[in-house]
Structures are given as C-alpha cells and as structure tokens.
Amino acid sequence: MDLELAERQQQLQNAAIEFARSELNDDLIQRDRDEAFSLEGWKKCARFGALGLPVPAEYGGMGFGITDVIVVMEGLGYGTRDQGLLFSINAHLWTNSLPILVYGTEDQRRKYLPGLSNGELIGANGASEPDAGSDVFSMRTRAELHGDHYILNGTKTFVSNAPVANLFVIYATVDPRLGPMGITAFLVERDTPGLVVSRRMEKMGLRTSPMAELVLNDCTVPVANRLGREGRGVAVFESSMEWERGCILANYLGLMRRQLENCIQYVRSRKQFGKPIGKFQSVANRVVDMKVRLDASRPLVYRIGWLKERNQSAMLESALAKLYVSESLVASCLDALQIYGGYGYMVEQGIERELRDALGSTLYSGTSEIQRNVIAKCLGI
C-alpha cells in the first residue's frame, strides 16, 4: 500500500485545503457559541463538490472512489476549524447518500441523489433510540406493512442534522422476534405525516452540527420508499459504517496535522526562562507524541480505502482505525492545550473547541468500547 499521494490526489487535497481555509472559517467562535448551522457554508461545500464526492456523475456527483474521498476529507479537515460542519457533511454522505447509492432502486437514486449532491437536500439518519444506543439493533421502532405502505412508530435520538434535514434514513423492525434479521431501512421525507422533529439536543462539542430527536407517530411510508429488502437493514447500516469510519477520520488527520504544525511553530517562538519552550524536554516530548500519533493514524485510515477499492471487507480495519485515531485525536488535543498553556484555554485560540469536538469522536459511529468488541470478534475471541 503506497501512502504517497499521486499528483492528481495532491492537487485535490490542496484545492480542498484552500477552499476550506478561505470559505469555511467565518464567525466560527460565535456560531459555535450559538450552535448555528452554516447553511451558507453548506451551499459552498455543495458548489465545491463535497456533498457528492462518492456519487456517480450520472446522479449529480463527483464519482470519486473512497481513497480520493479520504484525500479530500483530509484536506477539508486541515483547512477549516469548523469540525461541526464537516461532521454534518459526513452524516449526510455516509448514512444517507451512500445507502441510497448502494441499496436504493434506480428510481430512488434518480429522485434523491441529485438533490443530496447539489445541496438542495440535507440527509440524516435515525438509528439510535433512547434505549438502544450501542445495542442499536435492539431498537423498538416498529414498521408494520399495510398494503402498499408501512406504518412506523417509535422514537429516534442523537439524530445529526435532524433540525435542518429534508430526508431521513430510518431503521425499524418489522418483527422484534427476528432480532437483527427484522431490521429494515426506510427513506422518509421531512413532510411525511407522522414524522416530527422533536427536542433539539445541545451538545458539548460539534455545536455547529445540529442534533435532535425524532418521533414517529403512525408515520406512513410507501413501500416504494423501503431501502433494500425487508430484513436487510443491518447490511445497509454496516456498509455505511465502513465508509463513515474511514472518511470522518480523514478529517481528523487534517486537524491533527494542522495542530501539530501550529504547535511546532509555537514552541519555537514562545520563550520562557530565556529560551524557546521547545527546548524544554517536557514540552518537546508532547510534540513528538503528537507526531507519532499522526503518522501511526494515517496508514490505518488509508488502508480502509485501499481495501474497499479492492472489494475487500474493511470491518476489522475500520474498527481499528476508529478506535486508535479517535483516542489519538483526544490525546493530541490535550497535548496542544498543555503546550499553549493559559492561551490554549482561551476561546479565541480555538484549541478548547477542538478538544470539545474531539471528545465526541470516541462515541459516535460506535464507541471505543464497541470498536474493541468488533475487533475481538474479528480476531475470533
């Protein structure tokens, strides 16, 4: 596996960095404080092509393979400090657009993918429930078939993009006795009778990515909006997780690289006791640890792309990457905060926000504990 970017890929990443740096950082401190989603930033990302990266051109997208998507996502993570907006883009792509592309009918693809790619539609995903988080497939939301439509009843929580979304991928069971084999996915439009975007949820970090609960009360969904066959919901969900874990972590490769470069510059220029603080071993060691984590994280993420483009499973590799990169990100943010000292604790520096954003990475897309369970299972334990 070659970790050197091809010339075309380097050009893609440079373009993403320049775009994100110049277009996506405005008023971030205030938007974070207000929990404000940037619709203008979303539209800019759509014009840049970020909302349709894996979607074929015939459906309005860029048609990139997963490695090229990782390349671009790393660039976006390097160029912008608005990790909330990038998180919303990832939720939109990997839990909505990709399932439609892989499991949708041709009619579903042509109906939804162009709007999802050009920014007219914002996608969201309803899987977690108040009593089914890590044990997501013990969900209680029911889907009962009545002729040419299903009736959905239940509650979904931690739904990223819900306050602004137009289209939801909702998971429900057609028969609780079947366990995971009863889980089925549905495409539910926002104005569908019985779908209510309920309580908005305030978060510690990623505050520019809005989140809310969903209530399904006799929500009527046509059979034509079932995504895949009955009982295939687990396959729909797990296929999207391999992409999500790889691509959302790519943003954090960019963040960790930018953070490392900033810290190196800071320890060279900041002087205490008559010399640059980088000359103190306790400070230099933190910078070294940040470099080790970044260089160890990068091949883990790019290996997911390498495997998926060869039509191989990356379940183990995506779990390894999710576990290591998310926990490395938190550790590096803590090191950056300590390196900057009191200045790093200040809001205007941005490090405290990056730490708050980073903490969520050990929870979403499967907690660190769940990743360890997945890895153990893959190892036959």
Q: What is the reported pTM? A: 0.95
Residue 229, Ramachandran bin (φ over 0: left; ψ between -120 and 50: alpha; else beta): beta
Per-residue pLDDT of 283-318, as tens digits, reads 999 999 999 999 999 999 999 999 989 989 888 999
Query: Which phi-psi region, left, alpha or beta, contains residue 147 (left: φ > 0; alpha: ψ -120 to 50)?
Result: left
Range(s) within the chain of domains with CATH label 2.40.110.10: 124-231
Q: Tell me, which fold does domain 124-231 have in CATH?
A: Butyryl-CoA Dehydrogenase, subunit A; domain 2 (2.40.110)
Question: Which residues are known to be catalytic?
Answer: 244
Amino acid at the residue 360: G
| Intervals of CATH 1.20.140.10 along the chain | 234-378
Query: Which CATH number, 1.10.3720.10, 3.40.190.80, 3.40.50.1000, 1.20.140.10, labels domain 234-378?
Result: 1.20.140.10
Interval 233-283: pLDDT, tens: 999 988 887 778 778 899 999 999 999 999 999 999 999 999 999 999 999
Pairwise CA distance, residues 95 & 109, whole Å:
14
Note the helical H segments in the chain. 7-23, 28-34, 39-48, 66-79, 83-92, 98-103, 106-118, 233-269, 281-308, 315-340, 351-359, 368-378
Q: pLDDT truncated to tens, each residue of the chain (381 aa)?
A: 777 899 999 999 999 999 999 999 999 999 999 999 999 999 999 999 999 999 999 999 999 999 999 999 999 999 999 999 999 999 999 999 999 999 999 999 999 999 999 999 999 999 999 987 677 778 999 999 999 999 999 999 999 999 999 999 999 999 998 988 999 999 999 999 999 999 999 999 999 999 999 999 999 999 999 999 999 999 998 888 777 877 889 999 999 999 999 999 999 999 999 999 999 999 999 999 999 999 999 999 999 999 989 989 888 999 999 999 999 999 999 999 999 999 999 999 999 999 999 999 999 988 999 999 999 999 999
- The label of the residue with tokens 């490090």 reads 351
Do residues 141 and 153 lie in contact, with contact meaning Cβ atoms separated by under 8 Å?
yes
For residue 8, give both structure tokens. 């075309």
Side chain identity at residue 330, one-letter code: V
For residue 81, give Cα distances in angstroms to 2, 86, 223, 348, 356: 28, 9, 42, 12, 12
Where are the CATH 1.10.540.10 domain residues in the chain?
7-122
Fold designation for 7-122 = Butyryl-Coa Dehydrogenase, subunit A; domain 1 (1.10.540)
